[in-house]
């Protein structure tokens, strides 16, 4: 027998965006229905951020053993237990999973339906035998790996981020299609875990990130003997014995390479195929569901948040979407999305983090300044042997902070300070006047900020004032 529910909110998707809204709304006493067809926690917990960062952590420790000679410790080549590594990754997922579980959300008062959802009209969603007529709907179905139409790929074994973390055997040679964040993070992790790695991309590596920062990462990866072929067009792939063979063209020359495993990391596609969005009068593009600045679709009852709306596809972006929609859908406030306040991060070693305007965007401001400081001139970076990288800050003519790029160790942690500065519309003088603990990488912020005042040192009138004050004793 069919059941009809009439909650205030119906959330489709139990990933980070949907769960954030569901938990907050339920704790405010809002009746919530949450529909999820797969594992709770979505891509981030099960096949994205959590397992990938666990893998990167393992690779970093393996590399530290090789680099120990820098600190007067005899370096060794680590022995990797791949089955134990698999168990470690899934142990981390298991440790976090209770926070995203059906049991937890049920205890919060959320009605959780584990089934596939589809719209049957503008005001109704069907999930199994249950119909939901909600005051507001929130689509948070996330994204999946976008698999390109390459000849031979459909009949050749390949991995994506949804399957690579299930490996329990050694990867001897990993071929990666795609030099974006996912491709390069996993490339470096597997290189450090003992694999040969080759990366192929049609454009330059990290083409969506600051070009100077991308070069820092690419140099470091190449120093670790990761082979990167940029501007390479893949012609076809095929099985080769127990491995794979990739045929590609670069600079007009036909080339091929063989490996043991193939990872496809060529982007993401929105999970919208099964939703029957046309019946809800919701518009879509190739990148996802079309929304306005308040994340509302053409159907005024329906919002869309997270990866399903297209890039930038970060978990923290999804959580920010959730906060905005909560204010809109529950409290009738009208906050809108401001992408300049969303950090953009890459977790290779060294890391890259950006906030605010890009350098190209900032240059459109009259009197724009670029303030820089290298990691090599930071005492803590020297002590840790992490001297590769830089910080650069963009300001307008009045010293207001427009953006920041950090390429180097702990960049993802250091960018949080600049996120606050931009959110508070701070001036660079506010940063220059702060006291940072010594010795820390956080001093990079102060050192960069102080360079804003260097031109004043060459002002003749200030030199005359200083001379006059010296005469006064």
Which pLDDT score, from 0 to 100, does residue 48 have? 92
Whether 447 shows a pLDDT value over 90: the answer reads yes
* Structural domain contains residue 472: no
Q: What is the pLDDT of residue 173?
A: 98
Q: What percent of the chain has pLDDT over 70?
A: 96
Q: Which domain holds residue 259?
A: 153-267
Q: Do 186 and 319 share a structural domain?
A: no
Claim to verify: residue 253 and residue 280 sit in the same structural domain: no
- What's residue 458's pLDDT? 62
Does one domain contain both 119 and 26?
A: yes
**Given the DSSP bridges, would you call strands 117-121 and 196-200 parallel, antiparallel or unpaired?**
unpaired
Is residue 259 predicted with pLDDT exceeding 90?
yes
Query: Is 132 part of any domain?
Result: yes
Tell whether the model's pLDDT for residue 460 goes beyond 90. Answer: no
The last residue of a domain, from among 223, 239, 267 = 267
Q: Are residues 20 and 138 in the same domain?
A: yes
Split at pLDDT 50, 70, 90, the class of 87 is very high
Q: Are residues 262 and 402 in the same domain?
A: no
How many domains does the chain divide into?
Answer: 3
Asked if the structure places residue 17 within a domain, the reply is: yes
Q: Write the pLDDT tens digit of every residue in 377-417.
A: 999 999 999 999 999 999 999 999 999 999 999 999 999 99
Residue 381 lies in a domain: yes
Instruction: Say yes or no: 21 and 108 in one domain.
Output: yes
Q: Are 118 and 182 in the same domain?
A: no
Report yes or no on 473 lying in a domain.
Answer: no
Q: In 3-state terms, the chain is what percent helix, strand and coil (to 5)? A: 40, 25, 35
pLDDT of residue 239: 96
What average pLDDT does range 303-309 have in this prediction? 95
Reported as a single tens digit per residue, the pLDDT across 183-211 is 999 999 999 999 999 999 999 999 999 99
User: Taking the chain, what is the end-to-end CA distance rounded to the nearest angstrom?
Assistant: 94
Residue 399 belongs to a domain: yes
> Over 90: is that where the pLDDT of 312 sits?
no
Residue-level pLDDT at 116: 97
**Does the reported pTM lie above 0.85?**
yes
Report whether pLDDT(469) > 70: no
Give domain status of residue 214, yes or no.
yes
pLDDT at 110 over 70: yes
Among 193, 205, 223, residue whose Cα is nearest residue 57: 193
pLDDT at 332: 77
Weakest mean pLDDT among 10-24, 88-102, 452-466? 452-466
Q: Are residues 394 and 443 in the same domain?
A: yes
Q: Is there a single domain that holds both residue 120 and residue 187?
A: no
Q: Are residues 186 and 239 in the same domain?
A: yes
Percent with pLDDT over 90 in the chain: 88
**CATH code at 426?**
3.30.390.30
pLDDT in tens, 2-55: 899 999 999 999 999 999 999 999 999 999 999 999 999 999 999 999 999 999
Which domain-ending residue is among 250, 267, 284? 267
Query: pLDDT by residue (tens digit) across 130-177?
Result: 999 999 999 999 999 999 999 999 999 999 999 999 999 999 999 999
- Domain containing residue 34: CATH number: 3.50.50.60
Q: Where among 252, 267, 282 does a domain terminate?
A: 267
Please tell me the predicted confidence (pLDDT) of residue 2.
80
Q: Are 389 and 411 in contact (CB under 8 A)?
A: yes
Contact of 180 with 164, CB cutoff 8 Å: no
Find out whether 264 and 200 touch, Cβ atoms under 8 Å: no
Model confidence at 466: pLDDT above 60: no
Chain centre to alpha carbon of residue 405: 15
The reply to whether 323 and 355 lie within a common domain is no
- Mean pLDDT of all residues in 324-339: 81
- Across the chain, how many H-helices and E-strands are there? 14, 25
Q: What's the pLDDT band for 473 if we cut at 50, 70, 90? A: low
Do both 138 and 285 map to the same domain?
Answer: yes
- Whether residue 92 is contained in a domain is answered as yes
Closest-CA residue to 318 (of 41, 47, 108): 41
């Amino acid at each position: 027998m069919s059941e009809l529910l009439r909650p205030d909110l119906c959330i489709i998707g139990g990933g980070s965006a949907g769960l954030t809204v569901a938990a907050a709304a339920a704790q405010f006493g809002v009746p919530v229905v949450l529909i999820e067809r797969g594992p709770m926690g979505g891509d981030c917990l099960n096949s994205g951020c959590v397992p990938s960062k666990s893998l990167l952590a393992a690779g970093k420790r393996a590399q530290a053993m090789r680099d120990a000679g820098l600190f007067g410790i005899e370096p060794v080549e680590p022995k990797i237990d791949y089955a134990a590594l698999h168990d470690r990754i899934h142990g981390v997922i298991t440790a976090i999973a209770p926070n995203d579980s059906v049991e937890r959300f049920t205890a919060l008062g959320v009605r959780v339906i584990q089934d596939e959802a589809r719209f049957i009209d503008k005001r109704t969603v069907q999930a199994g035998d249950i119909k939901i007529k909600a005051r507001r709907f929130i689509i948070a179905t996330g994204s999946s790996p976008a698999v390109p139409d390459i000849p031979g790929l459909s009949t050749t074994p390949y991995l994506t981020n949804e399957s690579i973390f299930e490996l329990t055997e050694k990867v001897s040679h990993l071929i990666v299609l795609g030099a974006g964040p996912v491709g390069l993070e996993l490339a470096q992790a597997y290189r450090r875990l003992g694999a040969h790695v080759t990366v192929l991309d049609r454009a330059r590596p990290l083409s969506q990130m600051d070009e100077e920062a991308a070069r820092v990462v690419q140099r470091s990866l190449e120093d670790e003997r990761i082979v990167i072929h940029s501007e390479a067009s893949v012609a076809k792939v095929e099985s080769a014995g127990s491995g794979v063979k990739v045929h590609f063209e670069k600079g007009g020359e036909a080339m091929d390479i063989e490996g043991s495993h193939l990872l496809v990391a060529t982007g993401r596609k929105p999970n919208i195929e099964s939703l029957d969005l046309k019946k809800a009068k919701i518009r879509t593009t190739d990148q996802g569901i079309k929304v306005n600045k308040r994340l509302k679709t053409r159907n005024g009852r329906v919002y869309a948040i997270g990866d399903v709306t297209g890039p930038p596809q970060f978990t923290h972006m999804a959580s920010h979407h959730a906060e905005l929609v909560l204010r809109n859908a529950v409290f009738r406030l009208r906050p809108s999305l401001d992408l300049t306040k969303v950090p953009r991060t890459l977790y290779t070693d060294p890391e890259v983090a950006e906030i605010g305007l890009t350098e190209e965007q900032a240059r459109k401001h009259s009197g724009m300044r670029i303030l820089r400081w290298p990691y090599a001139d930071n005492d803590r970076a020297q002590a840790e042997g992490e001297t590769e990288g830089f910080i650069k800050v963009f300001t307008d003519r009045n010293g207001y902070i427009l953006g920041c790029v950090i390429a180097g160790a702990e960049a993802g942690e250091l960018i949080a300070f600049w996120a606050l500065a931009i959110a508070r519309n701070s001036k660079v003088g506010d940063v220059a006047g702060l006291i940072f603990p010594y010795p820390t990488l956080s001093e990079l912020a102060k050192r960069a900020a102080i360079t804003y005042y260097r031109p004043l040192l060459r002002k003749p009138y200030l030199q005359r004032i200083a001379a006059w004050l010296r005469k006064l004793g």
